[in-house]
């Protein structure tokens, strides 16, 4: 029986993680979980799973819930998240938090010797070198919960690192893939939030439309699998059937295909090296009329190009890139800026930021905070 701490239980990945756990209740149990503000969703979750500890954002929610559920211990805030990550007696942390908030709990889980199933890609974008170094030091494994990285992880099974020629990350192109840059002027939040293939959370759906998400995934792949950026390619694949591929030195290409169902990457991250049954839809090849592939354009998707550049330069820039994007993404969803402003804000903030190559973990936190301030200032100037 594998005992799980689940951070971000009410989000898209969190809900599907609970589904996986309930489908295999003889394999997995949830020891602790966190949610944000949505107490109603939490109450629904608590009719299905029975954690010992729950973390919420607000102290008053924790207090009110404590009297309603005397058998559960409630904690709150960022400290609560870190406490959950550092608990004794569990096997794997499922980190399905959104954004920078996922970094400190990840570090805590690693330092206390827990394996991690990681859906929070920002953790690796921002703190990749620190996270990987700590994981090595503490003998901890990281399992990807991202469809592309799960696909690569599956393709790599049974092969050696030096046998790989390149990783090929597929990209759907997001909600605006068929539009030119001119046609992006004045697009609405609602339009941006309708992803053609995947049903995901709001932040990542916007990141998909700018392809910042794909840029993050390139950096994530670099850290997870240990390949340099010259050996990680992105290819457009609008059908999202091929979840990603690996080319080996003998030119053989191994791909993982399937219907778009995030429960597979979640489940595989928890069950590896075994495979368990999944009550999902099988891919029907006879119904696939065609699969398309095309080059990914850095002109059309400048944030993808920027991610490669930032990934290669490292230092404090990944933290700046992520922070600028988090603020700009949120500002667009709040109706404060236009869609194309997201790119302008992120690119200008990264380019103007004072580059520091050799950094400590504190520098990462500092770059994050400063970049947020700068973007906020730029947004106010625009308004
Ligand atoms: Mg992905």
**CATH code of the domain containing 95:** 3.40.50.720
DSSP E strands, 16-163: 28-34, 53-56, 73-76, 92-95, 115-118, 142-144
**127-139 per-residue burial string, b: 16 or more CB within 10 A, e: under 16:** bbebbbebbeeee
Q: How many domains does the chain have?
A: 3
pLDDT band at 179 (very low <50, low <70, confident <90, very high): very high
Query: Separation of 3 CA from ligand 1 center, angstroms?
Result: 25
* Residue 253 counted as domain residue: yes
CA distance 303 to 301: 6
Query: What is the CATH number for 333?
Result: 1.10.1740.10
Q: Residue 199: its pLDDT value, please? A: 78
Q: How far is CA 322 from CA 125, 126, 163, 370, in A?
A: 7, 7, 32, 12
Query: Average pLDDT in the 26-38 region?
Result: 97
The residue to which tokens 């053609």 are assigned: 196
Query: Separation of 244 CA from ligand 1 center, angstroms?
Result: 10
* Residue 308 counted as domain residue: no
Where is the domain boundary, 127, 144, 161?
144
Residue 197 pLDDT more than 90?
Answer: no
Query: Separation of 16 CA from ligand 1 center, angstroms?
Result: 15
Sign of CA dihedral 67, 73, 79, 81: negative
* Residue 309 counted as domain residue: no
Query: Separation of 224 CA from ligand 1 center, angstroms?
Result: 14
Query: Separation of 349 CA from ligand 1 center, angstroms?
Result: 25
* Residue 269 counted as domain residue: no
Query: Separation of 81 CA from ligand 1 center, angstroms?
Result: 24
Q: Residue 221: its pLDDT value, please? A: 98
Q: How far is CA 9 from CA 26, 107, 261, 313, in A?
A: 20, 19, 17, 34
CA distance 239 to 149: 17
Beta-strand relationship, 294-295 and 232-236: antiparallel
Burial class of residue 311 in the structure, from the number of CB atoms within 10 Å of its CB (0-12 exposed, 13-18 middle, 19+ buried): buried
pLDDT band at 280 (very low <50, low <70, confident <90, very high): very high
Query: Separation of 113 CA from ligand 1 center, angstroms?
Result: 26
3-class SS of residue 29: strand
Residue 195 pLDDT more than 90?
Answer: no
Residues around the ion ligand 1 (C-beta < 5 A):
146-148
Query: Separation of 134 CA from ligand 1 center, angstroms?
Result: 24
Residue 383 pLDDT more than 90?
Answer: no
Query: Average pLDDT in the 10-19 region?
Result: 96
Mean per-residue pLDDT of the chain: 96
Residue 83 pLDDT more than 90?
Answer: yes
Query: Separation of 38 CA from ligand 1 center, angstroms?
Result: 25
CA distance 370 to 364: 10
Same domain for 151 and 174, yes or no, is yes
Same domain for 152 and 290, yes or no, is yes
The string of pLDDT tens digits covering residues 290-335 is: 999 999 999 999 999 999 999 999 999 999 999 999 999 999 999 9
Where is the domain boundary, 113, 144, 175?
144
Helix (H) or strand (E) holding 82: helix 77-85
Tokens for 83, please give them.
Answer: 């406490």
Same domain for 192 and 291, yes or no, is yes
pLDDT band at 196 (very low <50, low <70, confident <90, very high): confident
Same domain for 70 and 10, yes or no, is yes
Query: Separation of 71 CA from ligand 1 center, angstroms?
Result: 37
Are the C-beta atoms of 51 and 34 separated by less than 8 Å? no
Query: Separation of 58 CA from ligand 1 center, angstroms?
Result: 30
Query: Separation of 67 CA from ligand 1 center, angstroms?
Result: 40
* Residue 198 counted as domain residue: yes
pLDDT band at 289 (very low <50, low <70, confident <90, very high): confident
The string of pLDDT tens digits covering residues 123-165 is: 999 999 999 999 999 999 999 999 999 999 999 999 999 999 9
CA 276 to chain centre: 23
Same domain for 59 and 114, yes or no, is yes
pLDDT band at 92 (very low <50, low <70, confident <90, very high): very high
Same domain for 122 and 150, yes or no, is no
Query: Separation of 217 CA from ligand 1 center, angstroms?
Result: 7
Beta-strand relationship, 232-236 and 253-257: unpaired
pLDDT band at 355 (very low <50, low <70, confident <90, very high): very high
Please give the residue range of the domain that contains residue 201: 146-262+276-300
pTM strictly above 0.85: yes
Query: Separation of 96 CA from ligand 1 center, angstroms?
Result: 13
Q: Residue 371: its pLDDT value, please? A: 98
Same domain for 156 and 137, yes or no, is no
Where is the domain boundary, 119, 144, 169?
144
Same domain for 138 and 159, yes or no, is no
Query: Separation of 359 CA from ligand 1 center, angstroms?
Result: 28
* Residue 270 counted as domain residue: no
* Residue 128 counted as domain residue: yes
Query: Separation of 193 CA from ligand 1 center, angstroms?
Result: 16
Angle at 324 between CA 335 and CA 269, to 5 degrees: 100
Query: Average pLDDT in the 60-73 region?
Result: 98
Same domain for 156 and 257, yes or no, is yes
3-class SS of residue 164: strand
Higher pLDDT, 196 or 186: 186
Q: Residue 273: its pLDDT value, please? A: 98
Same domain for 6 and 135, yes or no, is yes
Burial class of residue 292 in the structure, from the number of CB atoms within 10 Å of its CB (0-12 exposed, 13-18 middle, 19+ buried): exposed
Same domain for 150 and 292, yes or no, is yes
3-class SS of residue 289: coil
Query: Separation of 265 CA from ligand 1 center, angstroms?
Result: 10
* Residue 271 counted as domain residue: no
The string of pLDDT tens digits covering residues 200-235 is: 889 999 999 999 999 999 999 999 999 999 999 999
Query: Separation of 204 CA from ligand 1 center, angstroms?
Result: 9
Same domain for 217 and 185, yes or no, is yes
Q: How far is CA 40 from CA 9, 36, 47, 61, 269, in A?
A: 13, 11, 11, 11, 28
């Amino acid at each position: 029986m594998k005992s799980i701490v689940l951070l971000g239980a009410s989000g898209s990945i969190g809900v599907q993680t609970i589904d996986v756990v309930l489908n295999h209740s003889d394999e997995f149990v949830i020891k602790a979980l966190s949610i944000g503000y949505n107490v109603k969703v939490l109450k629904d979750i608590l009719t299905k799973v029975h954690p010992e500890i729950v973390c919420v954002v607000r102290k008053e929610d924790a207090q009110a819930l404590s009297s309603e559920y005397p058998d559960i211990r409630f904690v709150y805030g960022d400290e609560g998240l870190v406490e959950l990550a550092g608990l004794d007696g569990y096997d794997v942390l499922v980190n399905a938090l959104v954004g920078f908030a996922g970094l400190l709990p990840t570090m805590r889980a690693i330092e206390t010797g827990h394996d991690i199933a990681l859906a929070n890609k920002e953790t690796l974008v921002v703190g990749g070198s620190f996270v990987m170094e700590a994981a090595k030091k503490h003998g901890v494994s990281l399992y990807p919960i991202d469809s592309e990285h799960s696909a690569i992880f599956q393709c790599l099974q049974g092969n050696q690192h030096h046998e790989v020629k390149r990783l090929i990350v597929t990209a759907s192109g997001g909600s605006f893939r068929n539009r030119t840059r001119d046609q992006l002027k004045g697009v609405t939040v609602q339009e941006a939030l309708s992803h053609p293939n995947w049903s995901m959370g709001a932040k990542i759906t916007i990141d998909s439309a700018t392809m910042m998400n794909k840029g993050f995934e390139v950096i994530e792949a670099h850290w997870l699998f240990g390949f340099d950026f010259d050996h990680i390619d992105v290819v457009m694949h609008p059908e999202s059937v091929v979840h990603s591929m690996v080319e080996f030195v003998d030119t053989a290409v191994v791909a993982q295909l399937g219907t778009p169902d995030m429960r597979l990457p979640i489940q595989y991250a928890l069950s590896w090296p075994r495979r368990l049954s999944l009550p999902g839809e099988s891919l029907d090849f006879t119904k696939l009329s065609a699969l398309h592939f095309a080059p990914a354009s850095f002109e059309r998707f400048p944030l993808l190009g920027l991610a490669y550049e930032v990934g290669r330069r490292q230092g404090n820039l990944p933290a700046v890139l992520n922070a600028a994007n988090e603020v700009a993404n949120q500002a667009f969803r709040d109706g404060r800026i236009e869609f194309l402003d997201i790119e302008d804000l992120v690119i200008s903030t990264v380019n103007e930021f004072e580059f520091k190559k050799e950094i400590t973990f504190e520098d990462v936190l500092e770059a994050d905070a400063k970049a947020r301030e700068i973007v906020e200032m730029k947004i106010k100037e625009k308004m």
